[in-house]
Structure 1
Amino acid sequence: MQKKDCFYLGKIVKKYSFKGEVILKLDTDSPEIYQDLDFVYIEKGKQLLPYFIESSSAPKADLLRVQFEDVYSEEDADAIVKCAVYLPLKFLPKLEKDQFYYHEIIGSTLHDERFGEVGKILGIDDSTPQPLFIVDHKGTEILIPMIDEFMVKIDKPNKTVVVNTPEGLIEMNLPE
């Protein structure tokens, strides 16, 4: 399985028991839908390797206590702690027409109703209180807030996102 065919589910954050159980911190708005998985892909080095789940439980909403097949000791668990966990894209819940997953709009062209074509969306920075589009504008990386009020249209098939930002917002990000 290749990473481009998967989405990031979370990270194994620590060992839970001496029997190889681990705690998986889920990075999702709907952790409950991932509590009965049969397998996940764990990133080791540059590869995604399948790990089959023997049992799991949810001690907290965003945590999953997992016993993987063939991981039965602390040493086995140590080998996967701090590893990223992925699932195939087909496991993502279907969204409404006006909703999107971040990976669906990366590479799209961002247009602003006032400014015109801003550039290609390189990624999304969701480490801030408000997620930001990271956009390449003629070699300059600019950040545009992903605020619902700014969003006009998301055209996933044509890889286009249209926004209507306040006057001057884009210009203040550009070099003089």
Structure 2
Amino acid sequence: MEKWFNVGKIVNTHGIKGEVRVISKTDFADERYKKGNSLFLFKQGEEKPIELIVKTHRNHKNFDLLSFEGFDDINQIEQFKDGLLKVPESQLGELDEDEYYFHEIIGCTVITDNGEEIGTVKEILTPGANDVWVVRGKGKEQLIPYIEDVVKEIDVEAKKIIITPLEGLLL
């Protein structure tokens, strides 16, 4: 059975020429949305995904705008709203050392180098220079920057991350 990975959600149409507005959930948007790549649209209530070939990709505000081969007008893509874009595991490429897919980090337990458990990574934000991990534990949500000074060790097999919190980082 093929394992699927979520790369984005179509939240709306954009313009009248068949573009969709996507909230991206992928680590490598430029690579994943490259012209000619296959994405699979999963619509609620439908069993089989629709294969879509990327025709164009561009960024607009905080969204990725995509168009697909064979879909050139708003009426054709209106039905795609709220659909999830996914890729099969076979499309995941090899990463360099110390690089990780979001799905490998989400679900990991974060522990300080003193042995204090902070919580579990629930989400990854990509605001700019570095990723920020949203960690939920006993208290408030913690935001952990994925930078060398903070993240000391990642073990995706054991689902464990060791950090050295900077002063004032933890609430």
TM-score, normalising length: structure 2: 0.70
Partner of 1:45: 44
**Distance across 1 between alignment mates of 2:158 and 2:16:** 46
Partner of 1:5: 4
1:7-55 alpha-carbon deviations (Å, 9 max, x no partner): 21453643653xxx44465835452453222x422232265742234x6
1:26-105 aligned at under 5 Å gives the runs 27=24, 29-32=28-31, 34-37=34-37, 39-45=38-44, 49-53=48-52, 56-58=54-56, 60=58, 63-68=65-70, 74-81=74-81, 83-105=83-105
Label 1:163 to 1:13 Cα distance change in 2 as closer, same or farther (>3 A): farther
Answer with 1 or 2: which has the greater Rg: 1
Offset of residue 168 of structure 1: 4.4
**Distance across 2 between alignment mates of 1:94 and 1:48:** 29
How many residue pairs end up in the alignment? 162
Offset of residue 159 of structure 1: 0.6
**Distance across 2 between alignment mates of 1:75 and 1:108:** 42
Range with greater deviation from structure 2 (104-113 or 59-68): 59-68
Label 1:47 to 1:100 Cα distance change in 2 as closer, same or farther (>3 A): farther
**What amino acid is the match of 1:52?**
E
1:72-117 alpha-carbon deviations (Å, 9 max, x no partner): 8653322114533221233222212311122112221111114622
TM-score, normalising length: structure 1: 0.68
Contact 1:43 1:83 in 2 (8 A): yes
**Distance across 1 between alignment mates of 2:128 and 2:40:** 27
Offset of residue 63 of structure 1: 4.4
SS for the counterpart of 2:80 is: coil
The two structures, once aligned, show a CA RMSD in angstroms of 3.5
**What amino acid is the match of 2:50?**
Y
Label 1:122 to 1:77 Cα distance change in 2 as closer, same or farther (>3 A): closer
Contact 2:105 2:156 in 1 (8 A): yes
**Distance across 2 between alignment mates of 1:32 and 1:114:** 38
Range with greater deviation from structure 2 (142-151 or 127-136): 127-136
What fraction of aligned residue pairs are identical, expressed as a percent?
A: 19
Q: Give the unaligned 5+ runs of structure 2.
A: none
1:92-171 aligned at under 5 Å gives the runs 92-114=92-114, 116-126=116-126, 131-138=131-138, 140-148=139-147, 149-170=149-170
